[in-house]
Amino acid sequence: MTRLYNEPSAFADEMIEGFVASHGRWVRRVSGGVARSTRSTPDSVALVIGGGSGHYPAFAGLVGQGLAHGAAMGNLFASPSAQQVYNVAKAAENGGGVLLGYGNYAGDVLHFTQAQDKLRAEGIDCRSIAVTDDISSAPLAERHKRRGIAGDLTVFKVAAAASEAGYSMDAAVEIAERANDRTRSFGVAFTGCTLPGADHPLFSVPEGRMAVGMGIHGEPGIAETNIPTADELAELLVKDLLAEIPEGLSAHGARVVPILNGLGSVKYEELFVLYRRVAQLLAEAGIQAVDPQVGELVTSFDMAGTSLTLFWLDSELEELWLAPADAPAFRRGAITAQALDAEQLTLAAEQQAVIPDASDESKTAAPTVLAALDAAKAVVDANVEELGRIDAIAGDGDHGIGMERGIHAAVAAAADAVERGAGAGTALNLAADAWADKAGGTSGALWGMALRAVGQSVGDTDAPNAVAVAAGVAEAKRSIMDFGKAKVGDKTLVDVLAPFSETLTTAVQGGASLREAWGAATTIAEQSAEATANLLPLMGRARPHAEKSLGTPDAGAVSMALIVRAIHNTLAGNTAGKISVKETA
């Protein structure tokens, strides 16, 4: 378990502060993460990597000469927000464009893509590479759905070395994609990991058993088996990885970088015992091991587990992999780096949002917006543990924590906006930005999109009315389904949002008041959330563990149903009593 922390909600920020204080030779603090504290080659491609905190040395430990130019660092196990990624990219950009690198998780894809769009809108050439090395997370025919685990390192190292060598953006992207295509990983775990402040792990493995096919976020494995000997585990890992050699290659005569990665509490000595047999098996298959890496490279807090990665080289990939690098957690060769000037090391202060003019009617309505958000905050706070429990059945168990971070930030932003005379639309827009920024993860991105869609529709000119609200909810549905690619039946919050929006719109068009229409739609939302228990997940981290979630509703669907009920109570003037998950699922 995690023993050393102050406030659990402050853990990630305090961790970054301490990391920068102890590694100032390599990194400086920027809003949203860290960037190099040393000079980079002008007009070169800047590699900006990132993901949730809790995986050190990934991602901040890989920032330095010969490796990444910056790392966007989200909350624990939650993707960084689009704003965090954008901020780090702006700090790291050298004039040659920005290549964003991250693991292929829904929240990371959403936020990094939003940041990419924003950078491109400013005329900055920005591309992305989503790492897909984990063979257990999807079949070969669906490699694009696989998640990124310890193979992040091979892709990031090669892309960064290409940048240092002066590759163009097109060439850097091609080599990163080639590295990704030639990287395969497979992991196992013996115990789950426990986040700061939690009194139990995100998942558990029965005594004497091993979870097979582990990710790095506390997701359950795809199978369980008795704990093998070290040699037996080596044989399992190598056998499964050699069953999927990249197309066009063969084992005999291949040059491969093996990476045996500890996930948090398997000790180095144990890893060496395990690698002893891995090395023998690779040699027996005719593979020449190049620059083996054994140690902690992508972790998951205190999870007891390990993963094996095989990176299949060609001559160009090998040259780039072996190129010098100097980062806090990964060093080879000799690099002479010049420190940035003092003024370039200064962390820019976050600017307070400007409050646009609004009509008196809109200003008068803004406190109702705040009250609705406050009701949502109360219901999330009351159900945060249960939402996490539901999510942990087939996911990583952090949905409740993420929703809590998001709604708290949204309420604080809306309260500040109302105090400064904002209209209803601006209060919602600023709440949306705060939710997405502080929550991170998939839910942060989607709820940020939802609140912003309603805020844009409501605006600051008139008092919010049923037609505008229904139109905003409909736009939220469209935006989320277009951007997240989820559809009804995939076992996501869309299974609630779509029927809620349709019912709301139909009722408003029939002449119902906002309170009446919202109430009718809320009833449908609650029924829809309960019905997700009968669905198999087709999106997100729960997808590889679909059968485990059968009989349990989707956590995102449940939290949406809870929130729309809380908002209805606010519209109806009924704020007494708590709403619990058991009433909706």
- Show which residues are catalytic: 217
Element (H, E) at 406: helix 399-419
131: which 2 tokens?
């790492």
DSSP state of 367: H
Q: How many helices (H) and strands (E) does the chain have?
A: 17, 15
Other beta carbons less than 10 A from residue 111's beta carbon: 34
Cβ–Cβ < 8 Å for 417, 426: yes
Cβ–Cβ < 8 Å for 444, 107: yes
Please provide residue 37's backbone torsions phi and psi, each rounded to the nearest 5 degrees. -100, 10
Alpha helices in 122-191, H assignment, sequence order: 152-164, 169-181
DSSP state of 26: T
Please spell the DSSP secondary structure of 282-317, one letter per residue. HHHTTPEE-S-EEE-SS--TTBEEEEEEEEE--HHH
SS (H, E, C) 434-457: HHHHHHCHHHHHHHHHHHHHHHHH
Q: 58 by DSSP, 3-state: which?
A: coil
What type of residue sits at position 304? Answer: A
Closest CA to 332 of 257, 424, 254: 257
Element (H, E) at 109: helix 106-121
Residues 563 and 494: their CA atoms lie apart, in Å, by 14
Cβ–Cβ < 8 Å for 238, 564: no
Burial, 207: exposed, middle or buried (Cβ in 10 Å; 0-12, 13-18, 19+)?
A: exposed
Q: How many residues does the chain have?
A: 585
**Parallel/antiparallel/unpaired status of strands 293-295 and 126-131:** unpaired
380-389: long-range pairs with CB below 8 Å, 24+: 380/404, 380/407, 380/559, 380/562, 380/563, 382/578, 382/579, 382/580, 383/559, 383/562, 383/579, 383/580, 383/581, 386/580, 386/581, 387/555, 387/558, 387/559, 387/581, 388/555
CA distances from 56 to 173, 296, 391 (A): 25, 8, 24
